[in-house]
Amino acid sequence: MPETNFTALDWIIVGAYLLGTVAIGLWVNRYIKGMGDFLVAGRSLRTRLGIATMIGSELGLVTAMFAAQKGFASGFAAFHIGLMAGIATLVVGITGFIVVPLRRMGVMTIPEFYQKRFGSRRLRIFGGFVLAAAGILNMGLFLRAGGEFVAGITGIEWEAVKWVMSAMILLVLVYTALGGMVSVVITDYVQFVVLSLGLLLACVLAVVKVGWSNLVTGVEKIHGDGGFDPFAADGVGGSYVGWMFFLGIISCAVWQTAVMRACAAESVAVVRRMYIWSSLGFMIRFMIPQFIGICALVYFFQGGNETFFDATGTVSGDSSVTMRAMPVFLGQLLPMGLIGLVAAGMIAAFMSTHDTYLLCWASVLTEDVVNPSRGGRMSQQARLLLTRVLLFVIAGFLVIWGLWYELGQDLWDYMAVSGSIYFTGAFAILLLGLYWKGATAAGAFTALSVGLLAVVGLKPVQELLHIADFLKDNEIKGEHIGLSLAAFSLVAMVLVSLVTSNGCRDSQTQEHGE
């Protein structure tokens, strides 16, 4: 059991926060009158609340965990991930790339765009299924990461952690099922405030504790030049940096949870402002936890901690071990009271990520798979009920998946690869569907199908197909697979669209578009 400053007072702070969150869910239920209120809060988000909820849902506990793990494993070189994400979001905000035309079309989900743009209900159903499946797989390890955080910062045993995490998921389900997007927005806002203040304070305390010059010399001793230069770092390099920029575009403009925020915005002008301001948040959501991870690296290295390093002093290659470094460090760094506040903020972040993602995937399955399959004849009440039932079904799956899946790779890399099952194809469809009149439904089907091949980026799949050694010997990594498939999806969609284009191309675009 790790040493920690977590006390009964900190448990009280955490408990009070959790109860407050459920109370909000119960209270806002009175405002939910239909599917529009439930899914996109009646499209009433304004700029500052939009920024808070966007950063709130993206600056989650899981993000903090994998970012800190990257900082611990790669040193300052890991900062390139945040930098690429920030630049990508700023570019999207300034140009309105993808998100502005989507907001203008008034869609609530990306598969809905597929149908409006290509006039194909089957494409919407297929796209919705791929999106939800990849999304649920992508959040499959959120519970594990959350559990590692709670265990590390509070010092409680893993068996007890399982119960704590299950209780938290139940709380998330209660307030999300009741309040939908409205309660998600409120809890995101509270989490944004609490966690931002907690993390900023933790950064200051960490620098005071370890010392800046000590950090620099420590990272140099452990990682050498690769601890600072991302192009020289082990496991990073030019293609990885390019992959991070692409993921930056994806996570703000193609990933459904971020697009939902754009769709919920009051106007196109609000969408642009949200993205421009949030670019800083998209950068900081990586950089602050990475920095704490770097502080943990030097702190434990100089303290002679053997848990996180092998006998030669190199960082442990076991990703589940390095993931624990940040919470254990915070447990020893922060004083009583403040540690409760940071833990509450982090747990709030965990809950807000879950509420956003659960609501997102449940609504995609309802709106884009089940309802279109039944000819769009489901009543609003039936759709609301189904979405609420699906919230519970998905949560049940996550509890089981999170317990038995063997990580085998960094959490961030797992998430990038599992997400790419959807977004490699979706990126091609959005890009070509929005900006090229010649794109056809057959081309879109092809792009989605090509994107499915990204599943080979997952370690267990590689082992199942007996290609793990081949990929390792030829130094083919997740980023190579993801970038190649993104390019291949684009090319395949163009080629198939050209072949299947028949002159009366997509009259639906004009009919349903702007």
CB of 305 to another protein, least distance (A): 24
**Could you tell me the two tokens for 126?**
């297929």
Q: Name which of 228 and 392 has its Cβ closer to another protein.
A: 228
Interaction between residue 385 and another protein (CB under 8 A): no
Contact status, residue 297 vs residue 315, Cβ threshold 8 Å: yes
Contact status, residue 184 vs residue 176, Cβ threshold 8 Å: yes
Rounded Cα gap, residues 244 and 250, in angstroms: 10
Q: In this structure, how many other beta carbons lie within 10 angstroms of the beta carbon of residue 449?
A: 14
Interaction between residue 81 and another protein (CB under 8 A): no
Rounded Cα gap, residues 108 and 257, in angstroms: 11
> Half-sphere exposure of residue 308, counting CA atoms within 13 Å on the CB side?
25
Interaction between residue 29 and another protein (CB under 8 A): no
Pick the binder of another protein from 17, 142, 189, 422 (CB under 8 A).
189
Interaction between residue 221 and another protein (CB under 8 A): no
Contact status, residue 174 vs residue 403, Cβ threshold 8 Å: no
Nearest to 257 by CA among 166, 174, 342, 364: 364
Per-position DSSP letters for 389-411, written without gaps between them: HHHHHHHHHHHHHHHH----S-H
Interaction between residue 512 and another protein (CB under 8 A): no
Interaction between residue 200 and another protein (CB under 8 A): yes
Query: How buried is 376 (Cβ within 10 angstroms: 0-12 exposed, 13-18 middle, 19+ buried)?
Result: exposed
Distinct helix (H) and strand (E) counts, the chain: 25, 0
**Could you tell me the two tokens for 303?**
């303290």
Q: Which stretch binds another protein (CB under 8 A): 72-80, 112-120, 144-152, 502-510?
A: 72-80
Q: Which stretch binds another protein (CB under 8 A): 36-44, 161-169, 323-331, 366-374?
A: 36-44
Interaction between residue 49 and another protein (CB under 8 A): yes
Pick the binder of another protein from 9, 12, 15, 46 (CB under 8 A).
46
Q: Which residue type is seen at 477?
A: K
Pick the binder of another protein from 20, 170, 225, 234 (CB under 8 A).
225
Interaction between residue 339 and another protein (CB under 8 A): no
Q: Which stretch binds another protein (CB under 8 A): 147-155, 269-277, 415-423, 454-462?
A: 269-277
The b/e string for 76-113 (b: 16+ C-beta within 10 A; e otherwise) is bbbbbbbbbbbbbbbbbbeebbbbbbbbebebbbbbbb
Q: Which stretch binds another protein (CB under 8 A): 74-82, 115-123, 145-153, 473-481?
A: 74-82
Pick the binder of another protein from 2, 266, 321, 505 (CB under 8 A).
266
Interaction between residue 291 and another protein (CB under 8 A): yes
Interaction between residue 283 and another protein (CB under 8 A): yes
Q: Name which of 86 and 135 has its Cβ closer to another protein.
A: 86
CB of 169 to another protein, least distance (A): 25
Q: Name which of 100 and 131 has its Cβ closer to another protein.
A: 100
Interaction between residue 94 and another protein (CB under 8 A): no
Q: Name which of 283 and 365 has its Cβ closer to another protein.
A: 283
CB of 182 to another protein, least distance (A): 7
Q: Which stretch binds another protein (CB under 8 A): 155-163, 193-201, 241-249, 364-372?
A: 193-201
Interaction between residue 44 and another protein (CB under 8 A): yes
**Could you tell me the two tokens for 238?**
């030019």
Nearest to 368 by CA among 117, 136, 113: 113
Pick the binder of another protein from 196, 322, 424, 489 (CB under 8 A).
196
CB of 472 to another protein, least distance (A): 29
Residues in Cβ contact with 70 at an 8 Å cutoff, skipping those fewer than 6 apart: 78, 81, 286, 290, 293, 410, 412
**Could you tell me the two tokens for 83?**
């930098």
Question: How many chain residues are in contact with another protein, going by CB under 8 A?
Answer: 52
Interaction between residue 216 and another protein (CB under 8 A): yes
Q: Name which of 220 and 318 has its Cβ closer to another protein.
A: 220
Interaction between residue 407 and another protein (CB under 8 A): no
Rounded Cα gap, residues 405 and 428, in angstroms: 30
CB of 225 to another protein, least distance (A): 5
Q: In this structure, how many other beta carbons lie within 10 angstroms of the beta carbon of residue 470?
A: 11
The site for another protein (CB under 8 A) is made up of 31, 33, 37, 41-42, 44-52, 55, 76-77, 79, 83, 86, 103-104, 106, 182, 185-186, 189, 192-193, 196-197, 200, 203, 212, 216, 220, 225, 228-229, 266-270, 277, 280-281, 283-284, 287-288, 291
